[in-house]
């Protein structure tokens, strides 16, 4: 992602710039956290960003119409395909986060980071 380096005109060295790219899956309207919808939402974001992967892919809201295990298996597959580095959660109840961490630890050995 290009940034204006002219903001550092007097710098004797080239500045080091760090950018973290995030995107989300949002189960609102026609979208869900089913595997096909997750892939579609992430693929659309990657195309818009013109970037091969994001640092953080987070599930923005729970989707009570999709089994949690189904969503997590799809996220694991997307992670294995190097579409994102870390999985995050947002707007989940504490019991839902605990359930997700338990399922993740049982299948992958780790729990995703959580954002609020």
Model confidence over 31-63: pLDDT tens digits?
A: 999 999 999 999 999 999 998 999 999 999 999
CA-to-CA dists, residue 59 to 7, 36, 72, 74, 114, angstroms: 35, 14, 10, 12, 10
Q: How confident is the model at residue 2 (pLDDT cuts 50, 70, 90)?
A: very low
- Higher pLDDT: 82 or 108? It is 82
User: Is the pTM value of this prediction over 0.85?
Assistant: no
Residue 113 lies in a domain: no
Percent of the chain with pLDDT over 90: 53
Sign for the CA dihedral angle at 105, 108, 113, 115 comes to negative
Which is nearest to 113 in space by CA: 90, 82, 93, 79? 90
What is the tens place of the pLDDT at every residue in 61-99? 999 999 999 999 999 899 999 999 989 899 999 999 999
The structural domain count of the chain equals 1
How confident is residue 116, by pLDDT bands cut at 50, 70 and 90? very low
Residue 53: inside a domain, yes or no? yes
Give pLDDT, residue 5.
53
Instruction: Determine the structural domain holding residue 35 and report its residue range.
Output: 22-107
Please tell me the predicted confidence (pLDDT) of residue 110.
72
Domain membership flag for residue 112: no
């Amino acid at each position: 992602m290009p940034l204006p380096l002219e903001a550092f005109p007097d710098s004797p060295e080239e500045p080091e710039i760090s950018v973290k790219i995030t995107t989300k899956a949002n189960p609102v309207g026609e979208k869900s956290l089913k595997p096909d919808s997750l892939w579609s939402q992430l693929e659309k974001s990657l195309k818009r960003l013109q970037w091969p992967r994001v640092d953080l892919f987070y599930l923005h809201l729970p989707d009570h119409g999709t089994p949690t295990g189904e969503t997590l298996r799809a996220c694991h597959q997307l992670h294995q395909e190097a579409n994102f580095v870390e999985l995050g959660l947002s707007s989940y109840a504490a019991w839902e986060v605990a359930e997700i961490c338990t399922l993740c630890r049982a299948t992958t050995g780790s729990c995703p980071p959580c954002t609020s």
